[in-house]
Amino acid sequence: MRGPHNIWRLIRTGATFERTGAMKVALEAMDVPPRLRAVARIMGWPFKWLGYKGDPNLPPVTRAITALGPAYIKFGQVLSTRPDVVGVELADQLRVLQDKLPPFSMALARQSVETELGAPLDSIYSSFSEPVAAASIAQVHSARLVSTGERVAVKVLRPGIEKAFRKDLDAFHFAASMIETLSPASRRLRPSDVVRHFEGVVMGELDLRLEASAASQFDANTKDDAGFTVPLPIWQYSGRRVMTLGWAEGLPLGEPETLRAAGHDLVALSERVLQLFLNHALRDGYFHADMHQGNLKVAENGDIIAYDFGIMGQIDEYTRRVYAEILMGFIRRDYRRVAEVHFEAGYVPADRDVNEFALALRAVGEPIFGMDASQISMARLLSYLFEVTERFGMETRTELILLQRTMVVVEGVARSLNPSMNIWDVAKPVVEKYIRENLGPKAAIRDLGRTLMVLSHFGPRLPQLVKSALEGQAQNDEETEEQRRAVTFPMILGALVIGASGLVVGLLL
């Protein structure tokens, strides 16, 4: 369905921003260059009458985004964590998108619960409150279990949410294909791949069984993390459209003044949020990828409570090591090494100049070290980063999109608590520990042990593999002796390696 009919959807997007007054506000807040600002206004103004009206009680940008639907709301949630990009006033307006959207009716919520769990609601919950939070995909109710009296949170998907998302995603796919067709230079950013990645993430969020599983896995990974708590799912009362999990009691992380009045140390909280994320991403390769203020609370004892596990990120061990080296390079202000890591990982084409790339990275890193964080214009920094990627032909890495996006969000959350924080100083102990444990001699020995252990599993099959290879070579009279040796030598070497692997692994372990 990704045809020209989506042009209508895209026109209505621009028209809605124009009709609600959001276009002018957004362009000014993000400090868009005057020429692009004029183009956007000219393109949107003729179609103003086609735009959605939205809720006139909401501020312009929030009004436009909520009128356009859930996929747009997701994007607005990200911007709400970046007052340094969109301005403090607009960020505060967008924070409504995190958990204060209009709820759907109690009758629909009860019906969804009973249909999904296959039992009358009153037989499962002794109490079931009005919605306590409502976001783009679901709303949450406070309840108590009949069986134990435990207070729980019951998350219920919005009716028709799947259809609404598919409509938006269809338009996004069409827009990406049009951009690639009309602007060949944009293909290095792989807009279609980015949309496909976003689609995979969002559609996974629409099955609450997967979210329950993610919460369980995340708790197992982080159970020993001091000052961090994950509410656990209650499996027998969870399904695809309904999830029941332990209640998270605490103050919202998005209310700094309330937290300060309650006696919490905002500087310590800001540092812990960032360090927890880095630990989860580097140590575990499994992290909460939707860590905006609406999904974080602070318990009375100061613990940070994370919830809403619909979007989780995973990165393999090799990528984690590359990411850690890049971070460490910035921390040490060793821009040459940062540049080399980008080339070694294939993030920058090999025909580009590593020295020039190092100089460009210095222009990114030095302002962060040289100024108080509250003085840094992240909007300008991001603009310059885009220029750097274009100049050096860097393609979008879809496997890193979620990691990079979450890093931006988490840093925004931390800076909302402590505007003067230096992210490099806070990140340094976490990154240094990871590098010490995963990039040194011990890590190399551990990697060798793992490799040999895997190879040893093929030991019983090696004689037959070698025999088949030799017989196949003998039947091919046209092969040269050199070609036969080239094929046979690796097989014999593999047999020797595997034969010795048991002894080596035993010594290592």
Q: What is the full DSSP assignment across 33-55?
A: -HHHHHHHHHHHGGGGGGS----
Distances (CA, A) of 314 to 221, 431, 453: 13, 18, 24
Taken in order 447, 225, 409, 420, is the CA torsion positive or negative? negative
Q: What is the pLDDT of residues 254-280, one digit of tens each?
A: 899 999 999 999 999 999 999 999 999
User: Is pLDDT at 55 greater than 70 in this prediction?
Assistant: yes
Higher pLDDT, 417 or 70: 417
- Dihedral (CA of 360, 363, 366, 372) sign: negative
| Tokens linked to 63 | 């009004």
Q: How far apart are CA 48 and CA 66, in angstroms?
A: 17
Amino acid at 46: P
Is pLDDT at 477 greater than 60 in this prediction?
no
> What pLDDT score does 154 carry?
97
Tell the residue number behind the tokens 């108590």, with chain if given. 144
Residue 191 lies in a domain: no
Do 338 and 406 fall into the same domain? yes
- Residue 76: the pLDDT is 77
Percent of the chain with pLDDT over 70: 72
372 is known as an active-site residue: no
pLDDT at 301: 93
449 shares a domain with 392: no
| 24 and 58 together in one domain | yes
Q: Which two tokens stand for residue 65?
A: 């985004």
CA distance 189 to 187: 5
Cα-trace Rg, the chain: 27
474 domain residue, yes or no = yes
Hunting for tokens 């040269």 — which residue is that? 480
pLDDT category at 452 given cuts 50, 70, 90 is low
**Is 235 a member of any domain?**
no
From first CA to last CA, the distance across the chain in angstroms is 56
For the stretch 195-229, pLDDT in tens is 777 777 777 778 999 999 999 999 999 999 999 99
Give yes or no: residues 264 and 316 share one domain: yes
On whether the CB atoms of residues 20 and 67 are closer than 8 A, the answer is: yes
More confident site: 233 or 361? 233
**Segment 275-303 mean pLDDT:** 92
Query: In this structure, is residue 224 part of a structural domain?
Result: no
Same domain, 370 and 470: no
Domain boundary among 439, 458, 482: 439
Helical ranges in 345-397 per DSSP H: 354-370, 378-391
Task: Kindly state whether residue 184 falls inside one of the protein's structural domains.
Answer: no
Structurally, the chain folds into a number of domains equal to 3
Q: Which ranges of 183-303 would DSSP assign to H, the alpha helix? A: 191-205, 208-222, 256-261, 266-279
82-123 pLDDT per residue, tens:
665 666 677 777 777 766 778 899 999 999 999 999 999 999
**Domain-embedded: residue 179:** no
The residue among 439, 463, 481 that closes a domain is 439
User: CA-CA distance, 213 to 314, in Å (whole number)?
Assistant: 14
Residues spanned by the domain of 372: 249-439
Residue 324 pLDDT exceeds 70: yes
- The rounded percent of the chain whose pLDDT value lies above 90 is 30
Q: Please return the burial class of 93, using the count of CB atoms within 10 Å of its CB with bins 0-12, 13-18 and 19+.
A: buried
Last residue of a domain, one of 99, 121, 154: 99
For the ranges 75-84, 184-193, 257-266, the one whose mean pLDDT is highest: 257-266
Domain assignment present for 241: no
Residues 6+ apart with CB under 8 A from 347: 394, 397
- Give whichever of 156-170, 437-451, 490-504 has the largest mean pLDDT: 156-170
* Residue 325 within a domain: yes
Q: Is the pLDDT of residue 303 over 70?
A: yes
464 and 407 within one domain: no
Phi and psi at residue 369, in whole multiples of 5°?
A: -80, -30
Are residue 372 and residue 475 in the same domain, yes or no? no
Q: CA–CA separation, 234 vs 146, rounded Å?
A: 13
List, as one string, the DSSP characters of 131-180.
Answer: EEEE-SSEEEEEEEETTT--EEEEEEEPTTHHHHHHHHHHHHHHHHHHHH
Predicted pLDDT of residue 78: 65
- Is the CB of residue 147 less than 8 Å from the CB of residue 154? no
At residue 503, does pLDDT exceed 50?
no
Instruction: Let me know whether 464 and 374 are in one domain.
Output: no
Mean model confidence pLDDT for the chain: 79
Over residues 13-29, mean pLDDT: 81
Please list, in sequence order, all residues whose beta carbon lies within 8 angstroms of the beta carbon of residue 79, skipping any fewer than 6 positions away. Answer: 85, 86, 90, 91, 94
- Is there a single domain that holds both residue 328 and residue 253? yes
* Mean pLDDT computed over 234-260: 94
Q: Where is mean pLDDT largest: 33-47, 52-66, 124-138?
A: 124-138
Asked if residue 310 and residue 263 are part of one domain, the reply reads yes
Residues 496 and 352 both lie in one domain? no
**Among 290, 303, 334, 353, the one annotated catalytic:** 290
Average pLDDT over residues 459-471: 69
279, 405: one domain: yes
Determine the longest span between alpha carbons in the chain, in angstroms.
86
How does pLDDT run across 132-181, given as a tens digit for each residue? Answer: 988 878 999 999 999 999 999 999 999 988 888 887 778 778 777 777 77
